[in-house]
Amino acid sequence: MENVTKKYEAAVNSAAEISQVILDMEGGRFVLSMFSELLIALLGEGNLAGAMTALQKLCEVSEVPFVELELVEDDPAVWTTLFADTLVDVLEESIS
């Protein structure tokens, strides 16, 4: 259970860090919104490989380490969904 908690915290922290980097850019809300929607759409279509590629590109743009290797032993769809949900939450908080 402790291992899952650490992975959860790592995924949420990475998503929050990426969100802050993107939001600090000009047009950041739009970019973050588009990536969030893209991740959710790809996951909804069952395209986990596409979602992971989009997530990796988002990490590269924001210069935040990609966490795939740490999460590979569990269901990556669960962790990618958590990541996408966190991006949406941070975006919503930035708007209010």
Tell which residue, 51, 59, 46, 50, has the closest CA to residue 17: 59
Cβ density class 61-91: b for 16+ within 10 Å, e for less: ebebeebeeebeeeebeebbbbbbbbbbebb
pLDDT in tens, 4-58: 677 767 777 777 888 888 878 877 788 888 888 888 888 889 888 888 888 888 8
- Residues 67, 76: Cα–Cα separation, whole Å: 10
pTM over 0.85: no
Dihedral angle computed from the Cα positions of residues 26, 17, 62 and 11, in that order, rounded to the nearest 10 degrees: -140
- Least confident among 12-16, 66-70, 79-83: 66-70
